[in-house]
Each structure stands twice: as structure tokens, then as C-alpha cells.
Chains A and B, each alone.
Chain A
Amino acid sequence: MNDLTAALINFAIRFGINAAIAFAERLNKPAPTLDDAIAALKAARDKSADDYLQEARDKLKNV
């Protein structure tokens, strides 16, 4: 058993299994970089409410 596994087991015992799962999932996900933040903001700036509506209509058609 490596240190990280032991740490996760300890964490689960002290804070609960759900918190440990969330914690483990978070560990697997790499932290966003500056480029990720820029890409997220670009997408946020460029996607309009009408784009969301169009996506929803397309989804509804495909159901």
C-alpha cells in the first residue's frame, strides 16, 4: 500500500466515503492551466443564449 492509498483510506475513515471519492476524482483531474482558463472565457464570451436554445432544439429533435 503506498502513501497515497493509505492517505485516502484515512481520509475516508475521518471524512466519509463520499468526500474521499470526490477527493480522489479531484486528484485525477489535472488542475486547469492558464490556457484552459483563456479557452473557458473565450467560449463563455462567444456562446450566446440563442446558441444554447439552438442546441436544446437540436437535442430535442434527436430524441
Chain B
Amino acid sequence: MKHNVKHCLPFSAAIALACLCGCATLFESTVSLTEVVDVAMTTWATESVSGRTTHDVDDKVKKAHAEYRRTAGIALEALEAYRVGGGSGGEYKAALQAARAAVFSLLDILTPVLTKPTKTALEARAQKASLP
């Protein structure tokens, strides 16, 4: 069978690009995680000010979000240290892993607030933001 190189190349390029898109970089993972939280928190706040959440849920969300912010601060310090050459990429990865765990805790608490499709989409995005 004779292969037509001209036709194979574009498809190979597509597969290669698809693989690249599927494998998130460390920075893509970071930005994705923060975007997930931003969408989740914006949704919660809209529901909360409209009186569609309970005080109990609001308190838990605030607590979980404070924990996420704490882990984001640690990740930030590790990334800034990495930038100036004073830290290892490993430290940053560990810090980001902790932030990721905090994101999933927050999403769990937001279960009564988020619609099922929204929660599924956010979890999928956070899951995709796995560390390279």
C-alpha cells in the first residue's frame, strides 16, 4: 500500500497538536485552577445575595475559600522563588497540588449551590489541570 505523505502529514500534525492540547503545562494548570474557583465563587455569590443559599453553606464556602487562598499564597511564594532561581519546581508542584486539593474541597461544599452540569464541567476542568 502506497502512503500519500502529503495527506498523512496534516493528520499527524493534528494528532500531535491534540496531544499538546491534552497535556497541560504547569502554568496552564495554575491558571485553569484559579479560573475554576473564580467561576464557582461568582456563581455562589450570585446565589447567596439572591437569598438562595443557607447561612450554613455560606459559612462553609467562606472557610473553604479561605483555605484555598492560603494554599494559593503558598503556591505564589514557591512560584516567585522558582522565578528568581531560589526554589525548585518540585516545591511549586507540591504547593499547587495542595491548592488543587483545596479546589476540590471547595467544589464539594458548593454542591448544593452549583447546577449539576456546572459542577461536572468545573470538576472536569480542575481534573484536567493535573500536574505535568
Answer yes or no: B72 CB below 8 A from chain A CBs: yes
Question: Which residues of A are at the interface with B, using a C-beta cutoff of 8 A?
Answer: 3-4, 6-11, 14-15, 23, 26-27, 31-34, 36-38, 40-50, 52-53, 55-57, 59-60
A12 to chain B, nearest CB (A): 9
* CB closest chain-B residue, reference A59: B46
Q: What is the predominant secondary structure among interface residues of chain A facing chain B?
A: helix
Question: Which residues of B are at the interface with A, using a C-beta cutoff of 8 A?
Answer: 9-11, 13-14, 17-18, 21, 25-28, 30-31, 34-35, 37-38, 41-42, 44-46, 48-50, 61-62, 65-66, 68-69, 72-73, 75-76, 79-80, 83
Question: Across the interface, do B17 and A27 meet the contact criterion of CB distance under 8 Å?
Answer: yes
